[in-house]
Amino acid sequence: MNPSLSNSRIIDESRQGEPFYSTDSETLTSPELKQFYIESYGCAMNFSDSEIVASILTECKYSPTREIEQADLVLLNTCSIREKAEETVRKRLRTIDQLKKQKPGMTVGILGCMAERLKKTLLEEEKLVDLVVGPDAYRDLPNLLNQVDDGDKGINVLLSREETYADINPVRLQSNGVTAFISIMRGCDNMCSFCVVPFTRGRERSRDPFTIVSEAEHLFGAGYRDITLLGQNVDSYKWIHPETQEVYSFARLLELVAQVHPDLRVRFSTSHPKDMLDDVLHMMAKYENICKYIHLPVQSGNSRILSLMNRTYDRAWYEDRIRAIRKIVPDCAISSDIIAGFCTETEEEHQDTLSMIKWADYSMSYMFFYSERPGTLAARKYKDDIPEDVKKRRLNEIVQVQNEVSRANLARDIGKTFKVLIEGDSKKSDQDFKGRNSQNKMVIFKKIPGVQPGDYVNVLIEDATSATLMGRAV
Ligand code: SF4
């Protein structure tokens, strides 16, 4: 998906040590500077990283462009989570190769997880690529670009144990001026056997909470009303104050951000069942502006498969977490991630995943079939023995069951009134607004005079599909 460059406003940078401002890419566009064009693939973390990269580039006299043809520098911020994700990038490079033939001075760079996974192999396999930069090395971009200007290739794929880019002011890309991501930590210490992230993003490190609060304050000042705190596993967020040794847990961070302003909605992603403790749930119940929505990946509904996946919890533990959410935050919506057809999965074990979807009553899920990733624990230890047609059939059954559950879940919202934050015009009609409720459900309703994106409106739900609620402002 191409990030279209967007709109928000400059904020002060006077607070030394926490120089924070978010800049809108439009104000940075100037034809006399070298132009960069960036495409982001994969998870929200990558989109957030692209905003960090945009900031680093604008600091070294590059300006953003929406038009790839105009770009002097083309960057693909890539994902490696499945084989398909990398194939998509390889295909995109074929198109860019044509462009580069017409514009030989164009510099092409690969960022993100594919850069980290493949390293210099990418330079060998893809001759058009001049730059390969891993997720922890973006500060080195100005230096690497100089190397390319001198006729060399630029590569830096060093992973860091400290880097959080806490002092870098993201340039908000593809922003609607209402919602924004704030990355609170990087890396992951879990070693789920199917996952490349620990190899492509390194060890976990949490960012200074005061820089996070400062970014939230500035975003609120700039008119943003909904922020998502991002991390591979937000529940293991932990920061120790260097002087006082005070420990800041995720629940404490949530409270600090929620206290920025009651009109600033706070969301977070992604949670991990093993680390999600009740203190986070009690904090959600305590603050109206901490949204009542949790993304809690289960991956499989069967304990034997969960152990092969090295998810470090079993079905009973996961169910206990769901019960805790239902008890402490009764109006909380829950979504999940599910993998179909993991190594040695039997039909009965597949049925356990289907029953989990029904039992957990997810409002939605991200669903994929298992894609073996080189270098992972699973690739080294287990045979990818489930035939692709069986994987696809099981995935279809999971999607079908999830759609039925989502449809019933959203239908139960008919007749309820929700406080909706307007994010912009509905895709289908500019006569309608779209926005989300606290439960992260998209709500479509007829425009009314006197309100605009960034405003809250109470909406009475009159109809629902498996993905959207429809209603009218009341
Ligand atoms: S928690 Fe597991 S699936 Fe998620 S990023 Fe970490 S290793 Fe990957």
Q: pLDDT-derived band of residue 31, with 50, 70 and 90 as boundaries? A: low
Q: Evaluate whether residue 164 is within a structural domain.
A: no
Which is nearest to 297 in space by CA: 249, 228, 367, 230?
Answer: 367
Residues 440 and 387 in one domain: no
- Across the chain, what does the average pLDDT equal? 93
- Ligand 1 probe mutation, 80, 81, 190, most atoms within 8 A of CB: 190
Number of domains in the chain: 4
- Other Cβ atoms closer than 10 A to 396: 13
- Ligand 1 probe mutation, 195, 272, 309, most atoms within 8 A of CB: 195
| CA angle centred on 23, ends 207 and 131, rounded to 5° | 70
Report whether pLDDT(22) > 70.
no
| CA angle centred on 223, ends 221 and 224, rounded to 5° | 100
- Minimum CA distance residue for ligand 1 atom 8: 195
User: What pTM, to 2 d.p., does this model score?
Assistant: 0.92
- For ligand 1, residues with CB inside 6 Å are 188, 190, 192, 195, 197-198, 232-233, 272
**Cα gap 136→424, rounded to integer Å:** 34
Residues 448 and 424 in one domain: yes
Q: Evaluate whether residue 170 is within a structural domain.
A: no
Q: Evaluate whether residue 221 is within a structural domain.
A: yes
Q: What is the mean pLDDT of residues 416-434?
A: 97
Residues 454 and 377 in one domain: no
Residues 99 and 138 in one domain: yes
pLDDT of residue 389: 98
CATH of the domain at 239: 3.30.750.210
Residues 41 and 136 in one domain: yes
Ligand 1 centroid distance, CA of 308 (Å): 14
Residues 302 and 357 in one domain: yes
- Minimum CA distance residue for ligand 1 atom 1: 190
**Can you tell me which atom of ligand 1 is nearest the CA of 189?**
6
Residues 404 and 424 in one domain: no
Q: pLDDT-derived band of residue 32, with 50, 70 and 90 as boundaries? A: confident
Residues 299 and 287 in one domain: no
CATH of the domain at 441: 2.40.50.140
Ligand 1 centroid distance, CA of 332 (Å): 23
Ligand 1 centroid distance, CA of 334 (Å): 18
Which residue, of 395, 411, 427, is where some domain finishes? 411
Report whether pLDDT(3) > 60.
no
Residues 203 and 121 in one domain: no
Strands 468-473 and 73-78, by their bridges, are: unpaired
Report whether pLDDT(81) > 70.
yes
Q: Evaluate whether residue 167 is within a structural domain.
A: no
Q: Evaluate whether residue 140 is within a structural domain.
A: yes
Residues 183 and 322 in one domain: no
Residues 285 and 332 in one domain: no
Structural domain of 446? 417-473
Residues 383 and 260 in one domain: no
CATH of the domain at 80: 3.40.50.12160
Tens digits of per-residue pLDDT, 374-402?
Answer: 999 999 999 999 999 999 999 999 999 99
Q: Evaluate whether residue 165 is within a structural domain.
A: no
